[in-house]
Structure formats: C-alpha cells, structure tokens
Structure 1
Amino acid sequence: MSRAAATAARVSPFLDLESAPFTFPGSRILVQRAGDGVTVRLAEYERRLEDCVLVRTLRVLGPSGRAAAVTAVTADRIEFGEAGVTLTFDGSDALSLGGDGTVAWSAELDLPFAPAVRTSSALRIAVTPASTELRPDARFVAQVSEHPDAEGHARALDETARVWDAWFERTPAVREDLADMTAFCWWVLGANIVSLPGRGARAVVPSKIGYVGLWQWDAYFIASGLRHGDPELAREQLELAFAFPTADGQLPDVVHDEGVLASSDDLPPGDRENLRRAGSAIADPSAPIPLTKPPLAAWALRRLEDFVDDPAWFDTAWATVARSQDWWFAHSDLDGDGMPEYGHPYSSGLDDSPVFDAELPVASPDLAAYLIVQDDLLATRARSVGDAAGAARHATRSARTLELLEGMWDDSAGFFRSAGAGTPVDAEAVVSLLPLLTGRLPGRYVTGILAALDDPDRFASTWTVPTVARRDPSYSDERMWRGPVWVNVNALLAEGLAVSGQAERARELIEQTLRLVIHGGGPHEYFNPATGEKARTATTAFGWSAALFVDLAVGVSR
C-alpha cells in the first residue's frame, strides 16, 4: 500500500458527513447527510450554511426504488453501495454522480423547476451564479445536468483521487499512536483550502463551516502545522496575512472574498447585530476602532525560517512585521503609559473572555507578553542583518514593556491582572498565564503561575488548561473563552513553560493536549475541560486545532 493510500485509510473513519463534511481542496462545496440522502451547500464568508443551500436533498435510488444508503465515505468519494453509485468532485466547482450503469436519482433544489426522479448515465451538479428572478436571496445555485460524455464520471473520480493522493503524500511522519489523528488533521488542512478571488493565493480557512476567510491569528497557527508537510502553502498563509497593512502598518483581522476586516466600520451586519443584542457600545462606536489580532507575526515567521529558502521574501516579511509592531506602540497605547491595549475584544482573539466585561480599552498581560516576544525576535533579526541601531531599539522597548508587565502582577491575588480603562479587572483568565512566553519572568512570577496551574480551584481541571480560573464567577465548561480548553492556548503555554525552565511540564502539557484531541474525536474549536469532549457550540474540523496537533505531534515524535 502506498503512503497516500495508507493515510487515506486512516482518515476514512473520521469522515462522517456531519462533523467532517465531504469537500475538496480549493472548493467551497460541502456535502453532508440529510435524512435519506445528502445535502449540498456552499461555504461563503459570513453567511450561514443554511442560507447557502445548493441542493436541499439529493437521493440516489436503489433497485427497490427507495433511497440507497451511504455505505462508505473516503476523501475522494461517497459510495451508495446498494445502487453501485459514487459521488465525487469534478473540479472545484462541481460534483459528479455516476455508476456502472444507469443512475436513478432525485433532488430537491431551491428553484421553481426542481427536477423529479430521473435516470441518467452520470449526473453533474455545478455551481452557477443565481438568477435574481428565480432566487433573489441566493448568490449561487446548483445547475443539474447529465455528464457531457460517458467517461466524464470516471475521469472525475480519477482526478479527485489524484489530488488527495498528492496531499496525503505530504502527511508528516509521527509516532504510531498519533498517526491516525495526524492523518485526519492533515486531511482537515487540505479540506479547508479555499481560493480567495483576486488574492492570488490559497487560504487555509479556520473552517468551511462558519469561518470562510483568512483570520490573521489563525494563519499563524495554521502555518505552524503546514510547514512540516507543505512549507510553500504555509508561506502563502503569511503572505496573505501580511499583504494588506494599513498606511500606518496595522495588519487586518481578516482577509476575505470582499476585502479585509481592519476596522469596526468593516464589521459584517451579522457581527454588528450580535454586539447590539449583547448591549455592547462597540456595536456602533463613535469613531472607528481598529481590528487586528495579537502580535504573533514574528513568532510565526521565525517558525518558517528553516523550511522556506527565500531570503528576499523574509527581508520583506520582517519589515512588514516591524511596521506592525510599531503600530501597536504608536496607535494602541491609548492611555499613553507605554503599554498598548486592546481597543476591541476581536483584536485579542479571545473575544468572549470575561476580561472584556470591563470597560474598554483593556490592558492585558497576554498582549504585553506577545509584544515582548515580538520585539525580542525583531532585535535578533536586526542583529543578524547587521542593524545594530534597530536591534538596540527593539531590545530597549522590550525591556520597558517587561517592566510594565511586572507592574501588572497582583501579589494579593497571585496573578497578572488585566485593567479596563485603567481599572483593575477581577476576572482571572488564561491571559494571566501567558507571560510565561517571554522566557524572561523573574522566578517568583513563574512560581506563582505554576501554583495557579496546579490549583484545582484555578486551572487544574480534568482536561487542562481551562481558559478561565474555575473559581471565577464567570467560569463555564461550555461557553467560548470562559472555560473551555483551546489547543492554541495550550500550545502557547507549553512553549512558555519550556522557555521558562519547565521542560518536563511543557512535555506533559503537550502530551495531554494530544490526548485531548484524540479523546474528543477530532480537532474541534474548543473542548469541555470536565469531559474532554467537543463543547456544544464549538466548530468541528477546526483549522488551527488541526495544524497545532500536527505541529505538536511532530515535535514529540522526534
């Protein structure tokens, strides 16, 4: 059995057409179960899948005239065994349905001329722009037709298999106990590839279920996993994240089909309405608020240095990162004390964290830690290219930020405390642990953080690390960023432990994080810390969880 075939065999048990839809690298089409058939939807930026239905129900009819059950799902096809029929992709914008003989099928399309039961040698379902007369609420619809030639379905099967085989050949090698989940996570990364029109690159999106765009933070974590099997695709993620800075250097929160999300003025209507329902003043601020993501750009760029050989590209990328770092200090230090702040919860990546129940802007210890790490990496880069003045500037600013971070420690509470509009925030969240990332904390602060990690009333849960201390009134096992475990946070904390002289604890956290994803059944968006299962509202087949599982699995397998 070839390497690709072996990987495909490992992936198949996870492809349930529910949490893991049938899709294809570069395609927006998703196929999922629906009653006695399947439903076909199109993934679009900031549109619910229910609003993007192409075929409500597609049934394949067996010899009895009843709907044939799905008997197998592999990366390249869905099999309807009783009918001897397969469904596969025919390029990125069409599906092909066919079998050895005549195929009987029925489809419910959201169109006035939805076809009744038909038979044909092979069926092609193509995505086409919607007619406003027929579907004023839709951007795209399905065009159902017979395959133009008898061999068309066979060619589609072969080409879809070829694309997936090429992807699976790149699957990173890991320990045997991690191989099944690594294979599935590698499938997730391939399945989440989309083409962003006019952007000139492939984006590996967080999920085709609800997150169809390139989020800056996600791109950094996703590139970390991709680098082990497809470093050029990893580079494309950073290229997109760095491609559209504002005039003053700010990197946008999201790059999507219709532009970028870099300001509260760019918020899609659904987001704005959700903020209004929550009673948030930032739904309609008096002035535009910049929207970005935490400054981990240098962290991500450094991780590609041994994988991509292109000095000129790195020169340009490091210059972009340096300008973005300057933006944080020039435009996000809203109270003028030298410490940048989050002007909007979205810029933190931890949107629903209780630290943002406080009045904005919020000074948070995680942001201070990221800025210290980024300045340290920029200083190292400057020294490597002979820029002594630049190195000194970044090192001096890093040292000053570290002083300010140490001033956020609350001795009586035993943690780094956030502040909202200058007022200390009561909530104890995972942001208070992330200063470990600096690797430069005096010992008493490291000791304090380790005590918090070991305390069952704080962060020592069945499955660690919860994103809010368990004793905190806002704690929830299920609510996003108010308790559930996130793979990216664990990965950052493990790195922080390692650089803070706690290598064995770092290894333990990595191993437990890998066990969590396996126990939970896949790389979900976030996990219940009591059960280790997917939290109810979490997205499945989530990009950064998949990528970081791969990254961590490779690391512990060496």
Structure 2
Amino acid sequence: MTRHSTTMDAAALAGLAGRHLDLVQAPFTLPRSRVLVFREDRAELAEQGGADGAPPATALRVHTSEYERWLDDCRVIDELAVQDASGLALPVTGVLPHAVEFGDGAATLTFAGASALSVGGAAGLSVVWTTPDGERTCVELTARAPSVRLHIAADRTVRHEAFGSQDDDLAQTERLWLDWFAKCPIVRDDLQQMAAFCWWVLGANIVELPGLGDARGVVPSKIGYVGVWQWDAYFIAMGLRHGDPALAREQLEIAFRFPSEDGQLPDVVHEAGVLATSDDLPQADRDRLRRAGSQIADPNAPVPLTKPPLAAWALAKVLEAEDAPEWAREQLVRIRRSQDWWFTGSDLDGDGLPEYGHPYSSGLDDSPIFDGPLPTTAPDLGAYLVLQDLELARLAERYGTDAAGDPAGHRARAARTLELLLGLWNEASGRFEARAAGERVASDAVVGFMPLLTGALPSPVLDSLIAALGDPERYALPWAVPTVSAADPDFSATRMWRGPVWVNTNRLIVEGLRASGRDDLAHDLAERTVALVVHGGGPHEYFDPLTGEKAPTATTAFGWSAALFIDLAVELSAGA
C-alpha cells in the first residue's frame, strides 16, 4: 500500500520540490491556474542548461498557458521586478511552491487565486512591471498598502490594486500546496526528492477545461501541451493513482468522454473541443495530412486521429489503487467500443490486423517506421490490441459482461491478433518489423519490443528481444532504452522518437518483461529509468541516451515522465 505524508511531512516535501523550481525549466504556477512565472532571462539560461551558476534573477516574466499557442505568444508581463528606494532591483533569493522570495525576504510573490499574482513587502519598495506593448507601471508599497495584486484577464490584460497585508494570499496558496503534498507518495530515500518534484509537476499541470464543468485535466505540460491527450492521460493516471485515485479516474473519464458514433476515442480533449479527425485541425495542418495521407483510405475523407489502445490496461492499473465498480462499468462500455473500432475502422487492408492510418495515432509520429507510405502495420499496435483484449476479458470477469463484453470472445480475438502479430517477426533480422502499405520497413525501433506485453512470445523470439536489449551496439547504450537502435542509420540521440529515451516506452518495456517472466530484467530497467530522471535533473519529455541529459528540444516538467517516475519509484520502494 502506498504511504502518504502527514501535514508536517508535506512542508518538508514542498521544500524538496522547491530545490528544482529554478523558474527556467520549472515555472512558478498554481494548480488550476493558467498563469506561469519564469525568470526574465529564462531563454538564455535554458541554453546554458539551467540556473546553476547563473547570477540571481532580478526580474520575472509572466505568461498564460493556452491550447495550441506558443509560450511567447501568450506574454502578459515582460519584466516584473521589486525595486528598493534607490531603484535597484532586488534579486530572487528563494523559490518554494507557494512563494518567490526577493532580497532574502524583503518582498514575496505568491498567487491570489488562480488568475492573480500578489506581491508584498516593506514600505518604500516598489513593484514595477512592463507589458508587451511597452507600458511600464510602478506601484510604491506603503505602510498602509504594503502589497499589490496583479489581476490577469483572459485577454492577457493586467489590472492592479494596492491593498494591505499579503498574509492571507500567502496562507491560502501555501495551504493549497500543502494539501497537495500531503498526498505525495513516500518512497525510498534516494528517490524521495525527485518524487516530490514529480508530484509538484503533476499538481502544477492541473488545469480547468472550460466546457467540461469543473473537470480537472492534468495536462502533459503547461508549456505547449495544454490539453488531455489520450495516452498521456493513461500514463499520468498511473502515477496519480498512488496519491490521488479520484484525480487519476478523472483523467480517464476525460479521455473517454467524447467517443465518436463508431466508438473511436479522440486524440485530444481540449478547452475548445476535441481533436478526433483531420477536420479538427487548422487548414494548413489538414493540407499537410492530406499530403501524408493513407494510400488505402479515402483521400477525400477525414483522417481519424486517436492514440494507441492502452485504455483497459490503464483502467486496470487505476482500479488496483482503489476499486470503483460502478465507475469501472461505465468506462468499460466505452473502452470495449473503442477496441472494436480498431478492428472495424482501422483495419485498412482487411487482413485482420489493424494499422495506423496516420502517424499521429501512434504517439510516436516522428519514428522512422513512418517514413514510408501509409498505412503502417506496426508491432506495437498489434501488441496493444492483444493486451487490451486480455485486460477486457479479465475486467469482464470482474465487473460483468454487460460492460466489458464476453471474456471468451476477447480471448479468442487476442489469440487471432497474436498470430498475425507473430507474422511481423523477421527471423533473419531477429526483430519485429513494421510494414508500410504492405512493404517491409527495415527500421530497428523501440516498437519492436512492445510484443513483450503479450507475455506469450515463443522462446526463440523472446531470447532475441532480450539479446537486443543487452546489445551495446543497438539498445544497451549508457542510458537505455533508445527509441531507435544506435546501429540504425536513422538513429539520432536528440531527435524526437529517433533515438532519445522516453520514460513511457521504458515503462511499457518494464511491463512487457514482467509479463514475459523476466522480473530480473524488468527490475533492472526500472532502476535505470528512475536513475535517468534523477541524473537528468527532472522529468523531461525525452533524454539523450548517450549523456542522460535533457534533449535540447524536449519540454520540461513533463506530465507522463513525472507520473511514471512516481509509479516506478513506488514499485521499487515496496518492501524497501
């Protein structure tokens, strides 16, 4: 059972998380808020790889977080500083989840609700800010009004008010974060600091989604990924289950809430609707999709956009933490229909093994397996479909066939899919290979390890996959597992899905090794994965497999990396 902190522990955990809040890779923000505060010089520091050794910041920059908008397009304040009576800006001298400190405590910035910042300090100090249009405002703090609130509207305009003591704003913001950290799982001592930071990431990435009532979406990142992507929701729920099962269930609910008439689940649920087909994209993106469209699917029809079928697996994991039978039955109806859709709506060549109609639906859209024509028959998709049918069979036996369907039918379909999946095995190359519009794809990519999830591979096939994981010329790099073999001509240590290590694919391989009876290797890869996140300085989107550092173009404070670090840390700490 997961251990959680007490209120006293929560303050200590908040302090541990604060060690990572550099205002460069981890901004100052609040659960449910769309406001982000960075160091004013964050771009320069990001090129340096972080704030270590850099001079103290004297100004901050404020942005909002919006769906499909670049951070620089969402600027609210270009420079926010606290100045002394001589006009000298005070340096930032401390950051905790609830407060940013200037001048060793001479002034403090905190939140005043989700859409306002509060700055308070000694009389004689001034709060100065400049908006993107060049307008500069200076408010002097006085004995009667030692604080100022900056209210940020939806159109990014700023309204300010001077007021008395800031104590209530500080107390309310601190209480919100302490309540969050009180749910943080307690793990091994060597993993606890990073677990606290990862728990902060999950809390910081909570947003409200207009149009969904008071639904709380834990987004992949407030820096560029403001929406609930389907498989991100699955991985994020797996981490949340260890501290907040209700919030974990809420992520799955959002992902399942808007199926199409034929059962397909959307790729993304966001504040303006859903992304389920190419018709939901801007015109430029639709044109680009047409040019990359399937050679089999109707080029004039919308291209379905979804994510890999891991819904039942994620549901089962969440239910391990806290059973919810009625809720589970409601979700299973949608999952069963989405599984059926893959066989009726995405088996584009009619051979019984569904394909990816577009790279977006794989989640690994820059993988070299998609360099050829579409549709793509991929070993990861076949493996996920086998796993999902087996999970549906188990869940049907637990929660009833009305919701999940006939267990025997699911197992029979899983067996047929497995047989077709094994047809992708190339004995000569010793790996599972994708097919592009029926033609062999030579790329040696991480998707070839996903059949481990079936737990039913023939011994020679299993042995070959284990050998590949241990081969220093292919996958046993200093930091494993790269998403493309180092021996493949398309390998890049830094390009998305063409070599960097992703925590989610590592987590799936860990699961596959366990399912295949290799608990020793699963444990070793789990340890190496959490060590990677610690070494890399945080739960980044993806990591260089040669250095273990954040890849230059990777997003920081990334949701599923944080969640899966917690998931692995809890498992590794069990019995420790």
The aligned residue for residue 9 of structure 2 is 3
Other-structure match for 2:269: 255
Question: What aligned pairs does 1:206-245 form with structure 2 within 5 A after superposition?
Answer: 206-245=220-259
- RMSD of the alignment, in Å? 1.8
Deviations 1:344-386 (A, max 9, x none): 1010010100000010100000000000000001111223345
Q: Is the 8 A contact 1:461 1:530 kept in 2?
A: yes
Residues 103 and 168 of structure 1, relative CA distance in 2, 3 Å threshold: same
2:354 to 325, 340, 348: 340
CA gap of 1:7–1:82, structure 2 versus 1, over 3 A, is closer
1:28: which partner in 2? 34
The SS at the match of 1:338 is: coil
Q: Bigger shift: 37-46 or 448-457?
A: 448-457
Q: Which of the residues 101, 107, 117 maps onto 2:129? A: 107
Alpha carbons 1:26, 1:92 under 8 Å: kept = yes
| CA displacement 1:14-35 (0-9 Å, x = unmatched) | 0000000000000010000114
Summarize the Cα distance change of 1:270–1:107 in structure 2 as closer, same or farther, 3 Å threshold: farther
Residue 98 (str. 1) matches residue 120 (str. 2): yes
Q: Distance in 2 between matches of 1:68 and 1:81?
A: 5
- Superimposed CA distance per residue, residues 147-166 of structure 1 (whole angstroms, 9 cap, x where no aligned partner): 3x413x22111100000000
Is 1:127 aligned to residue 149 of structure 2? no
Letter in 1 for 2:397: R
Shift of 1:102: 4.2
Q: Does 1:468 align with 2:459?
A: no
| Contact 2:235/2:564 (<8 A) preserved | yes
Q: Is the 8 A contact 1:459 1:469 kept in 2?
A: yes
**Which of 166, 177, 182 is matched with 1:164 structurally?**
177
| Matched residue SS, 2:212 | coil
1:296 matched to which residue of 2? 310
Q: Secondary structure at the match of 1:305?
A: helix
Q: CA deviation at 1:265?
A: 1.1
* Contact 1:295 1:370 survives alignment (8 Å): yes
Tell me how far 1:272 sits from its aligned partner: 5.2
Contact 2:477 2:545 in 1 (8 A): yes
**Paired residue for 2:20?**
14
TM-superposition CA deviations, 1:234-282 (whole Å, max 9, x none): 0100010010000110010000010000001112467558769xx7457
Correspondence for 1:184: 197
Matched, 1:378 2:396: no
Q: Deviations over 1:33-57 (max 9, x none)?
A: 1144000000000000100001111
Bigger shift: residues 347-356 or 446-455: 446-455
**Partner residue in 1 for 2:50:** none
* AA aligned opposite 2:391: L
Identity of aligned residues (%): 55
Cα 1:27–1:337, aligned 2, differ >3 Å: closer, same or farther?
Answer: same
Matches within 5 A, 1:397-436: 397-436=413-452
Q: Would you say the 8 A contact 1:231–1:308 is kept in 2? A: yes
Q: Deviations over 1:460-482 (max 9, x none)?
A: 11100000011111100000000
Question: Match for 1:42: what amino acid?
Answer: T
Aligned to 2:406: 390
Equivalent in the alignment of 1:136: none
Q: 1:408-467: per-residue Cα shift (whole Å, max 9, x none)? A: 000111101100111111111000111001111111110110111111221111100000
Quick check: 1:518 aligned with 2:531? no
TM-score calculated relative to the size of structure 1: 0.94
Equivalences, count: 542
83 and 441 in structure 1: CA distance in 2 versus 1, 3 angstrom threshold = closer
Q: Residues 271, 95 of structure 1: CA spacing in aligned structure 2 closer, same or farther, 3 A cutoff? A: farther
- Please say if residues 63 and 82 of structure 1, whose CA atoms lie closer than 8 Å, have aligned partners that are also in contact: no
Among 138, 147, 156, which residue is 1:117 paired with?
138
**Which residue pairs with 1:135 in the alignment?**
none
- Choose 31-40 or 341-350, whichever is displaced more: 31-40
**What letter matches 1:265 in structure 2?**
D
Report the Cα distance in structure 1 between the residues aligned to 2:397 and 2:38, rounded to whole angstroms: 52
- 2:109 pairs, out of 78, 87, 91, with 87
* Alignment-derived partner of residue 478 in structure 1: 494
The letter of the residue matching 1:18 is V
- Compared CA separation, residues 185 and 274, structure 1 to 2 (3 A): farther
Asked if 1 retains the 8 angstrom alpha-carbon contact of 2:265 and 2:338, the reply is: yes
Deviation at 1:117, TM superposition (A): 3.0
Most deviating of 292-301 and 63-72: 63-72
Indicate whether 1:194 and 2:207 are aligned: yes
- Aligned mates of 2:33, 2:93 — CA distance in 1: 24
Change (3 A) 1:270 1:519: farther
C-alpha distance 50-386 of structure 1, shift in aligned 2 (>3 A)? closer
Gaps of 5+ in 2: 1-6, 42-57
CA contact (8 A) 1:125 1:142 kept: no
Distance 2:434 2:266 in 1: 24
Question: Could you state the TM-score of these two structures normalised by the residue count of structure 2?
Answer: 0.91
Shift of 1:503: 0.5
Of 564, 570, 575, 1:548 maps to 564
Q: Kindly tell me: are residues 399 and 281 of structure 1, through their superposed partners in 2, closer, same or farther at Cα, counting changes over 3 Å?
A: closer
| Structure 2 CA distance for partners of 1:374 and 1:82, relative to 1, 3 Å | closer
Q: Which runs of 5+ in 1 are unaligned?
A: 130-139
**Using the alignment, how far apart are the partners of 1:260 and 1:144 within structure 2?**
32
Closer, same or farther: CA 286–394 of 1 in aligned 2, 3 Å: same
From 40, 45, 49, give the equivalent of 2:62: 40
- Residue 14 of structure 1 aligns to a residue whose secondary structure is coil
206-215 vs 374-383, greater mean Cα deviation:
374-383
Query: What corresponds to 1:60 in structure 2?
Result: 82
Deviation, structure 1 residue 530? 0.2
1:186: Cα distance to partner? Answer: 0.3
Q: Is residue 59–residue 105 contact of structure 1 (8 Å, CA) maintained in 2?
A: yes
2:53 corresponds to which residue?
A: none
CA–CA separation in structure 2 for the residues paired with 1:257 and 1:29: 16
Contact residue 539 and residue 557 of structure 2 kept, 8 A: yes
Residues 255 and 266, structure 2, Cα contact 8 Å, conserved in 1: yes
Deviations 1:106-153 (A, max 9, x none): 2111247x2343313322111214xxxxxxxxxx22323123x413x2
CA distance in 2, matches of 1:86, 1:455: 53
Q: Which amino acid aligns with 2:38?
A: Q
The answer to which of 15-24 and 445-454 deviates more is 445-454
Moved more, 114-123 or 7-16: 114-123
Residues 407, 489 of structure 1: alpha-carbon distance in 2 compared, 3 angstrom cutoff:
same
